[in-house]
Chains A and B, each alone.
Chain A
Amino acid sequence: MRLLRLKPGHGEVVLAEGDVEVPAEEAALIEAFRRELDAGMWAAVPTERRDGRREAELVKSFGDVPRDAERVIFFPRAAGGAL
């Protein structure tokens, strides 16, 4: 699993990468996940349905992330735009 973050002026950056079945690597992933959520980021997991439809799922804790997810994408939370 890879944790990615969308970043201005750069594109995505890899925050952490590891196997969720390896306890040490999972702990590192959880720590990075919490750090981003504490920084106010939203976390989304891109998914694909059986019918081929692509969509995303917002997750609020590492426990919500499907174990077989390849990546979690963090991005700044939405704010109302120009008034």
Chain B
Amino acid sequence: MLLALGAPAIVAAVLLWELSLPRLRVLAPKLAAMFTRARERAARDRQVDFDPGRERRAERRARALLRSCVNDEEWSMYRDLGFLRVSGGGAPHGNPAASYAYLIYPHRPIVAYLPQTGALLNEYCVAFPDHSRPYGSTRLPDADDVLAKWMALTADERRLIADANMHLPGRQLDPEQVRDDLARLARWERGRSAWPEDARATPKESARAGTADPVRAGAKGVEGRERVAHARRAASSVPAR
């Protein structure tokens, strides 16, 4: 019985081998080339391992460049809150009468919203991938990603929005988180308007001028305590959503 089944099985296997041999001869060099490319890619990736020090230096350079391009208020906003607001439709930045505005987050979608009501309109997913992958990644440093979005939005809003993938709010960003960010922004603006003009400067400038953000720097003395209390009162007068 075993012999009766085994003999045809062996014959079938030999026939299959004979039939597939020409195809294997054609495929073999392609498979070898594929494995070689995979080995080279793996070796290249090993050479450009993630280096936290390099990334930190890159981010420091990117922040310095961003700071030199945007105005003082926008830089302070990014430094303190981690995002930038840009008014839509070419309205002056921070104009409360602007019909709509955008929040720019690093490596997250741009969010359009109505400043008057805080209603979220859309998420615009857009990226600036550098396919040359100089250090194994296509991602720009965070501040460079924000700068690229800021430059593209302020220069040609329509083009950037046309290139982006549009989604309803909540696709990638939690709408509650965005509303919290808008509330933080409102508190921050109230607090900032309450600070003396010289305290609105960046910490380095403030240090040079002998002043600093009263809340962040923990101002001392009667005058400092009054400034802190004043700033906190102004900040707490905007209810968080």
Contact = CB atoms under 8 A, between A and B. Distances in A.
A and B together in one complex: yes
Interface in A6-61: 6-12, 39, 42, 44, 46, 51-58
Contacts of B58: 7-11
B155 interface: yes
A66 interface: no
A58 B135 CA distance: 27
Most buried by B among A11, A44, A79: A11
Given A76-B129, A78-B164, A9 B54 contact: yes
A46 B164 contact: no
Contacts of A77: 128, 163
Interface bin, chain A:
20 to 34
Nearest to B70: A54
A62 interface: no
Nearest to A57: B155
Closest 4 CB pairs of A and B: A11-B61, A9-B135, A81-B125, A56-B151
Interface of A: 4, 6-12, 39, 42, 44, 46, 51-58, 73, 75-83
Given A6-B144, A54-B154, 17 more contacts: A7-B58, A9-B137, A11-B62, A11-B65, A44-B155, A46-B151, A51-B92, A54-B69, A56-B155, A58-B151, A58-B155, A76-B128, A76-B129, A78-B126, A78-B127, A82-B125, A83-B165
